[in-house]
Amino acid sequence: MLDYGKTLLSIRDLSVRFATYQGLARVLEKVCLDIKSGEILGLVGETGCGKSVLARSVLRIIPSPPGKIAAGTISYQGEDLLQISETRMRQVRGNRISMIFQEPMSSLNPVFSVGNQMREVIRLHQQVSKKEATRIALDMLRQVQMPDPAAVLGKFPHELSGGMRQRVMIAMELSCGPDLLLADEPTTALDVTVQGQVLAILRRLAGEKGVSVLFITHDMGVVAQICDRVAVMYAGQMVEVAEVKELFSAPAHPYTRGLISAIPGAEGEKGAEHLYSIPGVVPGLIDPPEGCRYHPRCEKKRAVCTEQTPVMVKLHADHDVACHCCGPSREEGRP
Amino acid sequence: MNRGSPVIEVRDLIKNFAVSSGFFGRPGTFLRAVDRVSLLIRRGETLGLVGESGSGKSTVGNCILRLLQPDGGQIFFRGRDLAAMNRRELQTIRGRVQVVFQDPLSSLDPRMTIKRIVGYPLTVSKQVRGAEVEDRVLAMLREVGLGKDHLHRYPHEFSGGQRQRIGMARALITEPECIMLDEPTSALDVSVQAQILNLIHDLQKRHGYAYLFITHDLAVVRHISHRIAVMYLGLIVESASKDTLFENPCHPYTRALMASAPRPDPFNRQDLAVLPGDPPSPVHIPPGCRFHPRCSSVMDVCRLEAPPRVRIAADHEVACHLYPST
C-alpha cells in the first residue's frame, strides 16, 4: 500500500567527479535530496548544474570512466543503491526506478517496431507470454491516450511524431509499475501544444498509479504547472528545496529569486522594459568558487560566503535553503 | 529619425520544397512551406513571428534574406524588390539585412578568432580595410558587452550567452536596418536569455533597428515584440499588435497556443492538454482550413473552404471562418 508523503528515496551527501583533460570536475558536491512517495518533485537549474548527473547517479548509469561517484549514499527501501551488486541493481532498474530521456528517438531502437520493443521491456521484467505482453502494451498505450494503439504497435519509431514517441516511452517505462520515474527534460524537444498533452498525461498517470516523479527541467513554467515540490541546483550544489507555491511566492535563495525574476512575463501582465538578469556567468566545475558557489554573482555576498560552504537548513516545514544570508532568522520579504 | 517607416514588406510570399524528385529529375511532389505570407516590418519595431516547428517561420526569414529563393510573391526592402534582384544587386543589400541564428556555436567558425568573425562582413563587403576593421570590431564588441581581451580568442572559449553576443556583433557591424533573429535565445538558460533579450532591446532603442523575431516561445515574444504574427502550417492565421493579441486572441489556434504554454504560476494550475493531436505534416495539408482537424470550434464550412484573411480591427487580422468578412 502506498504511503503518501513517506520518503521513498533519500540521497545524502552525494559527490560525483568527472575526470577531464582540464582536470577533475566536481560535478556534484554533497547533494542531499529526498523524494517522497507519490509526489512530482521538480529539479531545476541551468545547463551544467548537474541535474541530469544526479538522476543518472540514482540508476548508476553515469559513464564511468570518466565519471565516478566519489561519496554519499542513495537509500531506497532500506538499501543503499550505491553499495548493492550490479545484479541487484539490474532488478531495481526498470522494475522499481525507471527513466525517460529528452530525445525519445535516441532511446528507441530504429530497426525494431514499437510493439517489439515494448514487449521486450515487459517480458524482461515480468514473467508473461508474448500474447499477454502485447495486451499489456496495448493497455499502456491506451493509458497514454495514443490514437489507434493497435496500429502504433506495428510502426517503427521514425513513423511516429515526437509527441507520440515520448508517449511510447512513458508507456514503456510505466508498464513495469515502477515506484519512481526519473524524467529528464521529457518535453523540452516538443512543441508547446504537444508538450501540454504529454505533461497532462504524465501528471494524470503519476497520480493514478501513485508513481513518484523526479522531473528535471529548466522551464520554470513547467515546474509551476506540474510539480508538488521543487529542488533548485546551482553549479553542482543543492541551494533550495521547497513546496512549489512556497518557492514561487517566497523564494529564499538569491539564485532562486534571480531565476524566477528572469522569466519573461513574470514581471506582470504589461511587463517592464528590462528583464531582471543575474550578472556574470555560471562558473566552471573544475575550479569552482570556494565556499558558496554562487557568491561571485550574489548581491548579498558576505565574507563568510567566500570561505564556508553553506549547509541546508530548514526555514520552515517544507522549505530548506543553503545560504549564509537567508537563514531561519530572515525577516526581509521578496526582492 | 523616421520611426515607423516600412523597412521590409513581404507580399504573398510562397516557398515550395521538393519532397521527392520525379523520375529522371522531372518534378515530383512538393510541399508548400510558406503559403502567401504577407508581413510588414517597420523601423524601430519588432515583429514577432510565432509558430510550432514546421510552421514555416524560419523559411519566411530565410526567404527575406534570400538564403532561399522564393517561389512567388515579392519582398520589398525600402521599396526595392529583393526577390527579383540578381547576385550583384543583392550584395549591396546584404549588409543592410542581417541575421542572428539560434545555435551560436554552429554559426561561428571554430577556427576563426572573434576579431575575424566579427570583422568578416566588413572584409567581404569591402567597406573598410586594414586597421579600421579592428577599430570597428572593437567598438562593436563594446556595444554588445564584450571587450578588447576577447578579440583574439576562439568561439569555444565563450559561454552560450557570450557566443550569442558575438553573433549579434557580427550581424550589427555592417550597420543594418533590419535584423532577423531566428530563435536567438532558445538555446540559452533563462538567466542568460534575460541578458540577451535586454541587449536586443537596448540596441533597438539606440539604433532603431527593425527586428523580425522568430520564436516558438510566447512569453519571449510577448516581452520583446511590438506586433505579432502567428503561423500555422505555412500560413499566418492571425496578426495583431502585442497587446491586442494577448488581450483578445481570436483564432482558435492562437488561443490554444496561449492556453498550453505553462505559466510560472503554481497558484493557477492550467488544463495543459487544450489542443488534441499533432501538427500535421506540411506534405499532407488538410483541405479547407488547415487547422480544422484540431479545432474545437470546427464548422462544416471549415472542411471545405480556406478562410480569407479578415481585418477585424485597425491592427488585427485573422483568417478564420468564425470571423466572416462583411
Closest to A264 in 3D by CA, of A254, A273, A256, A255? A273
Is A47 close to B160, i.e. CB distance below 8 A? Answer: yes
Interface probe for A, chosen from B278, B281, B291, B294 (most Cβ of A below 10 Å), is B278
Do B175 and B307 have their domain in common? no
Residues B180 and B62 in one domain: yes
Q: Which three cell numbers stand for residue A96?
A: 522499481
Q: Is residue B1 assigned to a domain?
A: no
Does B250 map to a domain?
yes
Residue A271 is predicted with a pLDDT of 53
Name, in order, each residue with C-beta under 8 angstroms of B13's C-beta and a sequence gap of 6 or more: B34, B36, B37, B38, B39, B60, B63, B70, B72, B73, B74, B75
B-chain residues near A159 (CB < 8 A): none
Residues from chain B contacting residue A222 (CB–CB below 8 Å): 262
> Quick one: average pLDDT of A161-173?
89
pLDDT surpassing 90 at residue A145: no
Q: What is the mean pLDDT of residues A111-127?
A: 91
Closest A-chain CA to B195:
A277
Distances (CA, A) of B271 to B250, B260, B263: 19, 8, 11
pLDDT(A301) > 90: no
Per the CB < 8 A criterion, the answer to whether A260 and A303 are in contact is no
DSSP state of A147: S
For residues B33 and B126, membership in a common domain is answered with yes
Residue A19 near residue A79, CB atoms below 8 Å: no
Considering the domain boundaries, does residue B123 fall inside one?
yes
Interchain CB distance below 8 Å, A263 and B276:
no
ipTM of the prediction: 0.82
Please indicate whether, in this complex, the C-beta atoms of B52 and A192 are within 8 angstroms of each other. Answer: yes
**B124 and B178 assigned to the same domain:** yes
What total of structural domains would you count in chain B?
2
Higher per-residue confidence, A270 vs B104: B104
- For residue B208, count other CB atoms closer than 10 A to its CB: 17
> Does A265 contact B264 at a Cβ distance shorter than 8 Å?
yes
Q: Residues A238-261: what's their mean pLDDT?
A: 93
Q: Are B225 and B300 within one domain?
A: no
Domain housing B283:
246-262+272-326
Determine the pLDDT at residue A227. 94
B238 occurs within a structural domain:
no
Tell whether B215 and B94 lie within a shared domain: yes
- Using the 8-state DSSP alphabet, how is residue A93 labeled? B
Between CA A168 and CA A179, with CA A173 as vertex, the angle to 5 degrees is: 150
CATH number at residue B107: 3.40.50.300
Ranking A11-25, A272-286, B145-159 by mean pLDDT, the lowest is A272-286
Residue recorded with cell 533563462? B190
> Which residue in A325, A315, A252, A237 sits closest to A13, CA to CA?
A237
Q: Which amino acid is at B157?
A: E
In a domain, B241, yes or no: no
C-alpha dihedral, B290 to B295 to B301 to B304, nearest 10°: 30
> Shortest CB distance from A275 goes to which of B194, B218, B273?
B194
Find chain A residues with C-beta within 8 A of B276's C-beta: 197
Checking if the pLDDT of A334 tops 50, the result is no
- Minimal CA–CA distance to B50: which of B272, B212, B195, B293? B212
Is there a contact between A279 and A291 (Cβ–Cβ < 8 Å)? Answer: no
C-alpha cell at B255: 488561443
A76-94: per-residue pLDDT in tens? Answer: 988 899 999 999 998 898 8
CB-CB neighbors (< 8 A) of A244 in chain B: 266
Domain presence at residue B163: yes
* Interchain proximity B275–A193, CB inside 8 Å: yes
> Which residue in the set A191, A219, A259 is minimally distant from B262, CB to CB?
A219
Same domain as B250, residue B203: no
Sign (positive/negative) of CA torsion B177, B181, B185, B187?
A: negative
- pTM for this structure? 0.87
What is the pLDDT of chain A when averaged over all its residues? 87
A241 with A257: CB under 8 angstroms?
Answer: no
Looking at the structure, do residues B226 and B251 belong to the same domain, yes or no? no
Residue A16 · residue A53 · CB < 8 Å: yes
Number of neighbouring beta carbons within 10 Å of residue A105: 15
- In chain A, residues with a C-beta closer than 8 Å to the C-beta of B104 are none
Cell numbers that stand for B46 in this block: 519588432
Both B135 and B251 in a single domain? no
Distance from CA of B99 to the nearest CA of A (A): 23
What pLDDT was estimated at residue B25?
Answer: 63
pLDDT at A272: 65
Q: Are residues B92 and B39 in the same domain?
A: yes
Cell numbers given for B158 = 565563450
Enumerate the β-bridge partners of residue A97. Answer: A93, A180
Q: Are residue B151 and residue B298 in the same domain, yes or no?
A: no
**B267 located within any domain:** no
Each residue's pLDDT expressed in tens, for chain B with a length of 326 residues = 345 789 999 999 999 988 776 666 666 677 888 999 999 999 999 999 999 888 889 999 999 988 899 999 999 998 888 888 888 888 888 888 999 988 777 889 999 999 999 999 888 877 777 788 889 999 999 989 888 888 999 998 888 888 999 999 999 998 899 999 999 988 888 888 888 999 999 999 999 999 999 998 888 999 999 999 999 999 999 999 999 999 999 999 999 999 988 988 899 888 888 888 888 778 888 889 999 999 988 999 999 999 999 999 888 999 999 988 76
Do residues B299 and B188 both lie within one domain?
A: no
